[in-house]
């Protein structure tokens, strides 16, 4: 399956205008599918979208990352779409907090010979065919590769300094006045180092629960963030992982989450390079690579991303669940 590869540079408003022009047709498709998906699950999609965009999280995003708010607003304008529709597309994790549903497996290795991290992003099947890679460069000259879908600023990614950010949704404390996950992830990717990225994640108020794994050539951090607090997660000396159940507080995860985490632990000694991460993310037998019906009828491994902080290379896979291959994507 082909990736939708788009590029943009400049200020947030400039990037958004460029992205909106390139993604206008796909944004409309994404919105129509979003509405159909929630409607099939007995959710009033228009009402949900309005609720998501009326909460105070936008004030928080404007305070901490106004450049990204400007990017999303300009994207909607350039695509000739109502703001609330594009905004709702960017708030998938927040919609899950209101309606239920989550997935993802993240892995990081910190061996002397290799420092790499990767993830399968598991999403509802309405996203299939919308796999998109944003290649953007901000005004500082920092490049970002974000694996995502139209309307989302980033589900996971890597920057040209070698900072990798991968995430896992968690069912923890919520407060919709906090920062939406899209802005947390993309904002972290615009930080020059992993230490700066994790400081940003620790500082901001969060809307919903999420684990953030942040790696560069020097540091590895893992934190479980929620509306009530941000807690450091202990990492393994050589290979660490996270799925969709919290490690730092009482929480009962799904069967799929525990099974995927067990697969990471079982393969820890064999995780030595970025290639090893790719291979595990493609493993359907263990359930790390999710096919429709494996853990949920409508959930599948939407995209995979692997980055090497040492070589500053990134690879993206469109739809691992359907036999896609990892392709190297270069920074602009």
Distance between CA atoms of residues 275 and 281, nearest Å = 10
| Paired sense of beta strands 4-9 and 230-232, if any | unpaired
What is the torsion angle, in degrees rounded to the nearest 10, for the CA atoms of residue 194, residue 321, residue 261 and residue 155? Answer: 30
How many CA atoms lie less than 13 Å away from 112 in the CB half-sphere? 0
How many CA atoms within 13 Å lie on the side-chain side of 56? 8
Residue 300 three-state SS: strand
pLDDT, one tens digit for every residue, the chain (332 residues)? 688 999 999 999 999 999 999 999 999 999 999 999 988 878 899 899 988 888 778 999 999 999 999 999 999 999 999 999 999 999 989 987 766 666 799 999 999 889 999 999 999 999 999 999 999 999 999 999 999 999 999 999 999 999 999 999 999 999 999 999 999 999 999 999 999 999 999 999 999 999 999 999 999 999 999 999 999 999 998 999 999 999 998 766 788 899 999 999 999 999 999 999 999 999 999 889 999 888 777 889 999 999 999 999 999 999 899 988 999 999 99
- Residue 150 gets which letter from DSSP? T
Domain with residue 177: its CATH number is 3.60.60.10
Domain hosting residue 249, numbered range:
4-329
Q: How many domains does the chain have?
A: 1
Residues pairing with 179 in the sheet:
206
Per-residue b or e along 269-303, where b marks 16 or more CB atoms closer than 10 Å to that residue's CB: eebebbebbbebbbbeeebbbbeeebbbeebbbbb
């Amino acid at each position: 399956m082909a990736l939708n590869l788009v590029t943009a540079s400049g200020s947030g408003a400039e990037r958004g205008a460029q992205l909106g022009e390139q993604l206008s047709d796909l944004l409309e498709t994404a919105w129509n599918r979003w509405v159909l998906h929630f409607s099939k699950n007995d959710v009033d999609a228009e009402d949900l979208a309005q609720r998501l965009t009326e909460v105070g999280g936008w004030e928080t995003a404007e305070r901490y990352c106004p450049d990204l708010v400007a990017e999303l607003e300009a994207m909607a304008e350039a695509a000739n779409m109502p703001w609330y529709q594009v905004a709702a597309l960017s708030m998938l994790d927040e919609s899950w907090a209101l309606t239920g549903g989550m997935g993802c497996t993240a892995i990081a290795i910190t061996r002397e010979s290799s420092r790499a991290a990767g993830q399968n992003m598991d999403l509802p099947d309405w996203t299939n065919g919308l796999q998109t890679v944003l290649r953007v460069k901000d005004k500082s000259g920092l490049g970002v590769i974000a694996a995502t879908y139209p309307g989302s600023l980033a589900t996971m990614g890597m920057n040209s300094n070698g900072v990798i950010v991968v995430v896992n949704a968690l069912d923890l404390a919520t407060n919709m006045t906090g920062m939406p996950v899209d802005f947390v992830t993309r904002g972290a990717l615009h930080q020059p180092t992993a230490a700066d990225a994790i400081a940003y994640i620790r500082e901001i108020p969060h809307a919903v629960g999420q684990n953030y794994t942040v790696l560069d050539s020097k540091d590895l951090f893992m934190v479980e963030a929620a509306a009530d607090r941000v807690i450091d997660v202990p990492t393994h000396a050589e290979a660490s992982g996270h799925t969709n159940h919290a490690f730092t507080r009482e929480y009962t995860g799904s069967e799929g989450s525990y099974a995927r985490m067990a697969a990471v632990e079982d393969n820890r000694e064999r995780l030595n390079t970025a290639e090893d991460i790719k291979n595990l993310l493609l493993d359907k037998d263990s359930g790390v690579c999710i096919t429709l019906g494996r853990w949920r009828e409508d959930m599948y491994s939407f995209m995979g991303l692997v980055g090497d902080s040492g070589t500053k290379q990134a690879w993206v896979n469109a739809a691992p669940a359907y036999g896609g291959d990892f392709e190297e994507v270069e920074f602009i």
